[in-house]
Structure 1
Amino acid sequence: MSALDRIRVLRVIARMNVGGPAWQASVLTRGLDPERYETRLVVGTTEEDEADFLELRDPDLPVTVVPGLGRSPGPLGDLRALLALVREVRDYRPDVVHTHTAKAGALGRVAALVGRVPIRVHTFHGHVLHGYFGAVGSALVRLVERVLAFVTTAFVVVGERVSGELVEAGIGRMDDHVVIPPGVAEPEPVDQMEARRHLGLPVDRPVVLFVGRLTVIKRVDRLLEAFERVLARAPRAVLAIAGEGDLADDVRRWAAPMGESVRLLGWQAEIATLYAAADLVVISSDNEGMPVTLIEAAMAGVPGVTTDVGSASEVVVHGVTGLVVAADSEALGEALAELVVDEGRRASMGTAAAERARERFGVRRLVRDHEDLYRRLLGA
């Protein structure tokens, strides 16, 4: 296929902060068949309290930066970003505009409509319909998304439960939704003792790992309350928190009474080292899509304990690859303690998690699903 015949995909994401959306944008930008696809990735800038995926994980990824496309909305910045996206559309002349994250989804789809792009796809890696903006803000978000649904050819949604929540909120119809779970690479094997020494963690104590932004929606306060319960049953347990965010100072203060039982690692570039050091991975959030942390952990053979939010339960099979619990500190603490003290059960769950992850959550499957979607939408 000649360069003129290749399908052009303009991918737009608000910012490449460390997390699932950035990882998938990177994988899809690099992974689509170059004989059939040409891709341009347009991004905004990260905030000061965020870890930059491009710096930590993929510094050579080619991107086009659009000022004003980042997280914080504002009329003038949003207008400049929209006009820049319209110019990108007219310059690149894509067959598909595929947007990721809420702000990029709004501006990118409008730019695609103005530029008469035939196929407009938006990925919901989760949603911000509740838990982020308060009652009035959430209502406004729902209204905007309902309007944008009329100019969207298809929605990619990371999980069945998230898709159902969106349809229930009036955002698209089930026929418009295509469920494509995230995909991650199998990690390079890392010795656990070496990983722990590298991270400064004890080599002879059970380690529970949290990876994520230290922000309200992640409910690290709940996690720390839960871990107090864990220490009552397993005093030698250690909680390792890998991440930064606007609540970093609060987390340090909340964790201080537990002393060396809680270790704050900041952002870490070597993901395989993090998971190799862990016996368990935990999600304590009020709202999630399909947490890539749980998938990465499973791929590394680490069982997960998660609150029952979003499509987390589509990654962690309760009682088989980990535990899924109600979103409260008591339930979370009991589940963590149950596995912290049972090394044999952790091991069997980790084996099951790795087998299931390799079958369902690989990178090649993620790329293939998107290639199939683009061809179907274009009638190719």
Structure 2
Amino acid sequence: MTKVAHVCTSSFSHKILVDKLSILKDRGYDVHIVSSKEGYNEELMSKYHFQLRFINMNRKINLIDDLLSIVNMTRLFKKEQYTIVHTHTAKAGIIGRIAGRLAGIPVVIHTSHGLPFYEGQSKTKYHTYRSLEKIGALFCDAIASQNKEDIEKIKQYAPQKPIYYEGNGVDLHKLDQKNTQISQDQISLLKKQLNIPSNKKVILIGARLEPVKDHFFLLDGLRYLKENYNQNFICLLAGDGPLKQEILRTIQDNYLQGFVKLLGYQTDIYPFIKLADIVALTSQKEGVPRIIMEAMAFSKPVVATNVLGTRELVIHNETGYLVEYKNVRELAFYLNLMLTDEKKRIEFGIKGRKRVEKYFTEEVVVDRIVRMYNELLKKKCKN
């Protein structure tokens, strides 16, 4: 049985990995998850049966902390004698790859869930993160990307490495079970608990409260929607993060208290997806956004920014509307268009579901991962 360590910076990332890794286990791999304990969700992980290994990792760049993490992770890798180390997220991607090489792991792979450097960053951040990715590439056998657009950028900083398209997906069987289990009575009760009248349309945003998700662009769009269109709506923000207080102040400053409600971090987002009329996302960039895949699996229409990662998933005027980033009027226009046209919401929802079924399932992604593992292991055997 091939022993594989999947490494991510914090336990917050467990949620985006566990369904995929469960299928990988079913394919005969001995899967361990390595991360810091920050954000560990016992309720979530009790539903799965993975070997968990915790190594402290500082999400910020800190030379002493990072060196200590590399030392501790190298010891762990040597002790466990993994055949494959597969890293995710930026910081774990650097620490895990270096530790994998130092520990003599046969195959070391990194998956980019959206590159940490992108247009719109300060020059310092852009070049720092690009340089770190270039260094990380020296310590692995291959790099995979969750979206197709990033592949050319990866080839530029890692020209000697094999680059794979991994993609991203959802477990449709699990989501369909969830959808069936959520009754209309539960939805009615949830609306009552949230004080949402039956005549109000609901917009859902599921995203960490951090700069790249750009909730401030969203709030500008909602303010314009409120002031210029006769819409009776409420927007639910599911997620937590460092910008929470600033977002709350912005809601108050723009008199959006009756229109926007913060839900905090939700272990089970699915009742809120089923409750929503629209699912939206105003990120500056994405890998391939899970919340949008899940929404489309639930046959929900989407309004999202026309940015890296998201536009690979959402087809404009077919499964939803894509809005140019920072175009407040356009965001409000398409939100209004979607809120007022029930026929269009149903049509987009059906087409979105079909697109996920065809291209964005965990089974499809795991097929690609297994092929990648086999190719790299075969190459190692020849060498």
Residue 278 (str. 1) matches residue 267 (str. 2):
no
- The residue that corresponds to 1:226 in the other structure is 221
Contact kept in structure 1, 2:233 and 2:259, CA below 8 Å: yes
- The residue that corresponds to 2:158 in the other structure is 172
Residue 98 (str. 1) matches residue 86 (str. 2):
yes
The more displaced of 321-330 and 124-133 is: 124-133
Name the amino acid aligned to 1:291.
Answer: P
Residue 56 of structure 1, CA deviation: 5.4
What are the equivalent positions in structure 2 for 1:85-234 lying under 5 Å apart?
85-130=73-118, 134-167=122-155, 170-173=156-159, 176-186=162-172, 187=175, 188-189=178-179, 190-191=182-183, 194-195=186-187, 197-198=189-190, 200=194, 201-231=196-226, 232-234=228-230
- The residue that corresponds to 1:307 in the other structure is 305
Q: 5+ residue gaps in structure 2?
A: none
RMSD (CA atoms): 2.1
Name the amino acid aligned to 1:116.
Answer: G
Residue 133 of structure 1, CA deviation: 6.6
- Alignment TM-score, normalising by the size of structure 1: 0.89
- The residue matched to 1:235 in structure 2 has which SS? coil
Contact kept in structure 2, 1:207 and 1:279, CA below 8 Å: yes
- The residue that corresponds to 2:294 in the other structure is 296
- The residue that corresponds to 1:36 in the other structure is 28
User: In structure 1, how many angstroms separate the alpha carbons of the residues matched to 2:88 and 2:168?
Assistant: 13
Distance 1:204 1:173, change over 3 A: farther
Distance 1:117 1:350, change over 3 A: same
Residue 7 (str. 1) matches residue 2 (str. 2):
yes
Distance 1:213 1:35, change over 3 A: closer
- The residue that corresponds to 2:45 in the other structure is 58
User: In structure 2, how many angstroms separate the alpha carbons of the residues matched to 1:217 and 1:137?
Assistant: 13
Contact kept in structure 2, 1:159 and 1:181, CA below 8 Å: yes
The more displaced of 189-198 and 230-239 is: 189-198
The more displaced of 247-256 and 127-136 is: 127-136
User: In structure 1, how many angstroms separate the alpha carbons of the residues matched to 2:223 and 2:185?
Assistant: 25
The more displaced of 54-63 and 367-376 is: 54-63
User: In structure 1, how many angstroms separate the alpha carbons of the residues matched to 2:26 and 2:46?
Assistant: 20
Contact kept in structure 2, 1:234 and 1:341, CA below 8 Å: no
Q: 5+ residue gaps in structure 1?
A: 1-5, 47-51
Contact kept in structure 2, 1:29 and 1:41, CA below 8 Å: no
The structure 1 residue matched to 2:235, chosen from 226, 234, 239, is 239
- The residue that corresponds to 1:3 in the other structure is none
- The residue matched to 1:32 in structure 2 has which SS? helix
Distance 1:98 1:65, change over 3 A: same
- The residue that corresponds to 2:248 in the other structure is 252
- The residue matched to 2:272 in structure 1 has which SS? helix
Contact kept in structure 2, 1:238 and 1:261, CA below 8 Å: yes
The percent of aligned pairs where both chains have the same amino acid is 23
Aligned residues: 364
Contact kept in structure 2, 1:234 and 1:340, CA below 8 Å: no
Residue 53 of structure 1, CA deviation: 5.9
- The residue matched to 2:208 in structure 1 has which SS? coil
Distance 1:241 1:53, change over 3 A: farther
Residue 163 of structure 1, CA deviation: 2.0
User: In structure 2, how many angstroms separate the alpha carbons of the residues matched to 1:330 and 1:193?
Assistant: 36
Q: Deviations over 1:152-190 (max 9, x none)?
A: 2111111111223433xx232497221122121232223
The more displaced of 359-368 and 184-193 is: 184-193
- The residue that corresponds to 2:367 in the other structure is 368
